[in-house]
Amino acid sequence: MSLSPTIELSSGAHMPAVGFGTGHISRADITEVIQAAVRLGYRHIDGALSYGGEDLIGAALAQPGGPPRSELWLTSKLMQTQYRSDEQVAACCQKSLQNLQTDYLDLYLMHWPVVLQSDPKDPTGHTPYRHPSTGYFAADHQSGVDLVDTWRSMEELVMAGKVRHIGVSNFNIRQLKAILAVARIRPAVNQVEVHPYCPNKWLVEFCRDQRIHVTAYSPLGAHGQPRVLDNPTLSEVEVSADITPAQVVLTWARQRGLSVIPKASSPSRMVENLNTSRKLTPDQMDQINAIPTRMRVYDYHEEWGLAPGTLFGDSDVDESADDPSHNDNH
Ligand SMILES: NC(=O)c1ccc[n+]([C@@H]2O[C@H](COP(=O)([O-])OP(=O)(O)OC[C@H]3O[C@@H](n4cnc5c(N)ncnc54)[C@H](OP(=O)(O)O)[C@@H]3O)[C@@H](O)[C@H]2O)c1
C-alpha cells in the first residue's frame, strides 16, 4: 500500500495531495468503495452533505481496523441552503460532524457561491428545493445573503474548534477578492474544476499568489463531452511517459501544484489514480497545456437562472474569463 504525498497549506498543515472523491457514488456501493479506498492507501476523503452518503462514509471509516482519525483528512462542504446565518452554518457543519462520527473536520468549504432555496418539506432546511417543472434546484435570488457574511460564519467554526481549515469551492477571482478583503482567516483552499479542457490558468495563478491552495475536482473530466481521456495528445504523452491516460492527467495537475480528488469504483483504478509519482517532462507538460479544447463538466448557471459568466467569468471556459487583466468585473 502506498500513501499519497502531501501538500503544505499556508497554515503549515499537510494535506494528502491525492484525495478520494465521493460524489456520484450510490448509497448501495459507498461503504464498500470507501473501505477499499482506505485499505488501498487513500487518507483524504472529499465529501459534502449534499452528496447524500456522508453518514455511510462515517460508518465505514469507523469500522475496526481502519486508520486512526489523526491519519485521515476529512473535507466536507456547506449546503448552499444554509448560508444565511451563523446558526445555519453551525448546524449544517454539526450535521456533517455527526455523519462522519468525528469532532472536527480538517477542511470545510462553501460549496458554490450561490444560495439555494430550501425544500419546505425538510424541517432541517438543508435539502434544496427542486423546481417541479424543471427538476432543477432553485437559486434563491431574493436571499440578500452576502457571501462575505457567510465567510464570517465559517470563521466562527474555526474559533469553535469544529473545523481546522476553511475554504471555498467554485469561487472566481472577484469573489475571492471580496473574501480576502475582510477575512480574519484566509481561505486555505479553493476547490474548482481543473482538467486539461478546463485548466483555469488565471484562477490557479491568482490563488498561488494569494497562498490559497487549489484542489482540482473532476480532475479526469470524465463526465463531460468531449471525453478528456480520449484526447490524442494525451495518448502521445501516455506512450512517451509510460503511464495511463488517467495518470497523465492527474500528474499534469499535480505538477502544477494542485491536489486532486478523483473518484473511482474499482480497486485497480483507485491504485492507478493514487500513483502519480512519475514525472512529466517540461515538453510533455507543454503538449498538454497546448490542447485547445475547452469544456466544463459542472456549470449550473442556466439551472440557477444566472447570466452566462456570472459564475465563472465572462465566458464559461475561456482562459481570459478569470484573468483580471482581461476582465473589468474582477
Ligand atoms: N466542489 C464541487 O463543486 C465538486 C463538483 C464535482 C466534483 N467534486 C468532487 O470531485 C470528485 C471527482 O469528480 P468527478 O467524480 O466528477 O470526476 P472524476 O474524478 O474526474 O472522474 C470520475 C469518473 O472517472 C472514472 N475513472 C476513475 N478513474 C479512472 C481511471 N483511472 N481511468 C479511467 N476512468 C477512470 C470513474 O469511473 P468508475 O467510477 O466507474 O471507476 C468515474 O466515472 C467528486 O467525487 C467530488 O468529490 C466537487
The DSSP line for 192-235 is: EE-BTTB--HHHHHHHHHTT-EEEEESTT-TTSSS-GGG-HHHH
Question: Is residue 219 in contact with ligand 1, taking CB distance under 6 Å?
Answer: yes
Closest residue (by CA) to atom 32 of ligand 1? 246
Q: Which residues are known to be catalytic?
A: 51
Q: How far apart are CA 171 and CA 329, in angstroms?
A: 14
- CATH among 3.40.109.10, 3.40.50.150, 2.40.50.100, 3.20.20.100 for 6-322: 3.20.20.100
Distance 140 CA to ligand 1 centre (A): 28
Supply the pTM of this predicted model.
0.96
Name the residue at shortest CA distance from atom 5 of ligand 1.
217
Percent of the residues in the chain that have a pLDDT greater than 90, as a whole number: 87
At residue 318, does pLDDT exceed 70? no
254-299 pLDDT per residue, tens: 999 999 999 999 999 999 999 988 899 999 999 999 999 999 999 9
CA 21 to ligand 1 centroid distance, Å: 6
Pull the grid cell for residue 10.
Answer: 499556508
Instruction: Mark residue 92 as left, alpha or beta (left: phi above 0; alpha: psi -120 to 50; beta: remaining).
Output: alpha
- DSSP per residue over 289-329, as a string? HT------S---TTTTT--TTTTTSSSSS-GGGG-TTT-TT
pLDDT for 278:
87
Question: What is the tens place of the pLDDT at every residue in 247-265?
Answer: 999 999 999 999 999 999 9
Instruction: Identify the pLDDT of residue 326.
Output: 46
- The ligand 1 atom nearest the CA atom of 245: 32
Over 60: is that where the pLDDT of 58 sits? yes
Cell of 101: 462520527
Cα distances (angstroms) measured from residue 58 to each of 47, 152, 255: 11, 27, 31
- Distance (angstroms) between ligand 1 centre and the Cα of 264 equals 6
pLDDT in tens, 159-205: 999 999 999 999 999 999 999 999 999 999 999 999 999 999 999 99
**C-alpha 265 – ligand 1 centre gap (Å):** 9
Whole-number average pLDDT of the chain: 93
Separation of alpha carbons 95 and 76, rounded Å = 11
Strand, helix or coil at 88?
A: helix
- Percentage helix, strand, coil for the chain under 3-state DSSP, each rounded to 5: 35, 15, 50
For the chain, the domains span: 6-322
111 is in an annotated binding site: yes
Which ligand 1 atom sits nearest the alpha carbon of residue 273? 31
pLDDT band at 308 (very low <50, low <70, confident <90, very high): confident
| Distance from C-alpha of 162 to C-alpha of 157, rounded to nearest angstrom | 5
pLDDT the model gives residue 321: 53
238 Cβ inside 6 Å of ligand 1: no
Residue type, 72: L
Ligand 1, atom 29, lies closest to the CA of 269
Please report the pLDDT score of residue 328 as a whole number: 39
Taking the C-alpha atoms of residue 42 and residue 274, their distance in angstroms, rounded to an integer, is 8
Please tell me the distance from the alpha carbon of residue 200 to that of residue 176, in angstroms, as a whole number.
14
What's the 262 CA to ligand 1 centre distance in angstroms? Answer: 5
Say yes or no: CB of residue 191 within 6 Å of ligand 1: yes
Amino acid at position 144, single letter: G
pLDDT in tens, 100-141: 999 999 999 999 999 999 999 999 999 999 998 888 999 999
263 lines ligand 1 (CB under 6 A): yes
Separation of alpha carbons 27 and 224, rounded Å: 23
Largest CA distance in the chain: 56
Which stretches of the chain are assigned E, i.e. beta strand? 6-8, 14-16, 20-21, 44-46, 73-78, 105-110, 163-169, 189-193, 213-217, 259-260
Q: Is the CB of 265 under 6 A from ligand 1?
A: yes
Closest CA to 272 of 308, 315, 229, 233: 229
* Rounded distance between C-alpha atoms, residue 112 and residue 205, angstroms: 20
Q: Is the CB–ligand 1 distance for residue 19 below 6 Å?
A: no
Residue from 57, 263, 269, 299 whose mutation best tests the ligand 1 pocket (most atoms within 8 A of CB): 263
Ligand 1 pocket mutation pick from 20, 33, 217 by most atoms within 8 angstroms of CB: 217
Task: Give the single-character DSSP code of 122.
Answer: -
Residue 120: count other Cβ atoms within 10 Å of its Cβ: 9
C-alpha cell at 63: 469500522
- CB of residue 227 inside a 6 A radius of ligand 1: no
For ligand 1, say whether the CB of 118 is within 6 Å of any of its atoms: no
Q: 6-8 and 14-16: which strand pairing?
A: antiparallel
Distance CA 305, CA 317 (A): 18
